[in-house]
């Protein structure tokens, strides 16, 4: 059992899978000779060669289109989009094509492919390196959307994504790459896609979140525990499929729920969680399901002071928790 960063766990998962299955290839901008912009694939090309670690042009539609074509012909590609903000040129290949393969062929064809991409703010990335894109793909049937927050979850979920028979969007919050560390087993393991994880148990209020925000929620829960307040923190881990059962069981126990997301609020993951609770656990609620989200502005601000205002933090989360507890 080693203590590693989230980025190291992702690198380890890909390395082990490349060794396990010769049909797996990686492709993307600068992922070969340069080892990727975050060095997730550093040294891979020397060990596995340029036929399995493939540098591509700066053309996201081609990266995903080639990956889909390869997946339809017996290869298991891992396509890297350098930053989530640049995934939009590939929207037709993902939403218009890859998501429809299995359904459109009445189950005769599969598209076993993973699209990895770093997303999220808090890193002074400005308008084009900070975007949250999860809700677009979570709305699309035929895709799975995975978003780990810990090294243990990242490795196990990435292995599951690589072994899945159909497309998986694997989102990695870049702020967690090197700031989050945790224990990861040396042995091979997977984590089921579509299963949330209760990070902390409590009975006073449920906090539901994902990605970087999970860590802020845990810090708030640990701080308020000193006051005798016991918060339950759920890490969704998978946004599609969404683990409704774990959510409902928690709300049935606590009676109150706060959903925390870095993304803007309208039409978001929080809305889906809130509506599911209203449909399936309304009679257990002691207050409204509340959402805490980023402000409704198009991009992440470039100014550090404005970015700090945009980003959620422990103070904002704690205030929302206290307001809901007092309801």
User: Are the C-beta atoms of residues 36 and 30 closer than 8 Å to each other?
Assistant: yes
Out of 129, 173, 175, 215, which one is annotated catalytic?
129
Cα separation, 141 vs 279, whole angstroms: 21
Cα distances from 320 to residues 170, 286, 292, in angstroms, run: 29, 15, 7
Tell me the angle at which helices 244-254 and 269-280 cross, rounded to the nearest 10 degrees: 60
206 - beta bridge partners? Answer: 232, 257
Task: Give me the count of residues in the chain.
Answer: 327
The label of the residue with tokens 């390869």 reads 70
SS3 300: coil
Peptide bond into 214 cis (omega under 30): no
User: Are the C-beta atoms of residues 316 and 303 closer than 8 Å to each other?
Assistant: no
| 173 tagged catalytic | no
Buried b (16+ CB within 10 A) or exposed e, 4-35: bbbbbbbbbbbbebbeeeeebbbbbbebbeeb
Cα separation, 278 vs 258, whole angstroms: 13
Catalytic machinery residues: 129
């Amino acid at each position: 059992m080693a203590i590693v960063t989230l980025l190291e766990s992702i690198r380890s998962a890909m390395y082990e899978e490349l060794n396990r299955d010769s049909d797996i290839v990686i492709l993307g901008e600068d992922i070969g000779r340069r080892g990727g912009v975050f060095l997730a694939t550093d040294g891979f090309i020397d060990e596995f060669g340029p036929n399995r670690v493939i540098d591509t042009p700066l053309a996201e539609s081609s990266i995903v289109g080639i990956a889909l074509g390869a997946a339809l012909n017996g290869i298991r590609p891992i396509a890297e989009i350098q930053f989530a903000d640049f995934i939009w040129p590939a929207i037709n290949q993902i939403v218009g094509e890859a998501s429809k393969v299995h359904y459109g062929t009445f189950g005769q064809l599969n598209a076993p492919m993973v699209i990895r991409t770093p997303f999220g703010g808090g890193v002074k990335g400005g308008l084009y390196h900070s975007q949250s894109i999860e809700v677009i793909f979570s709305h699309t049937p035929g895709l799975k959307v995975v978003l780990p927050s810990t090294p243990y979850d990242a490795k196990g979920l990435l292995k599951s994504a690589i072994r899945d028979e159909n497309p998986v969007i694997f989102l990695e919050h870049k702020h967690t790459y090197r700031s989050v560390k945790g224990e990861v087993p040396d042995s091979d393991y997977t984590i089921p896609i579509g299963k949330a994880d209760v990070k902390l148990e409590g009975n006073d209020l449920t906090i539901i979140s994902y990605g970087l925000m999970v860590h802020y929620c845990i810090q708030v829960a640990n701080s308020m525990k000193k006051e005798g307040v016991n918060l339950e923190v759920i890490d969704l881990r998978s946004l599609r499929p969404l683990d409704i059962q774990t959510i409902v069981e928690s709300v049935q126990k606590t009676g109150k729920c706060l959903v925390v997301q870095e993304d803007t609020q309208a039409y978001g993951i929080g809305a889906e969680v809130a509506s599911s609770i209203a449909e399936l656990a309304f009679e257990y609620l002691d207050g409204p399901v509340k959402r805490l989200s980023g402000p409704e502005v198009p991009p992440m601000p470039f100014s550090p002071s404005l970015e700090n205002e945009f980003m959620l933090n422990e103070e904002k989360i704690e205030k929302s928790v206290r307001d809901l507890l007092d309801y």
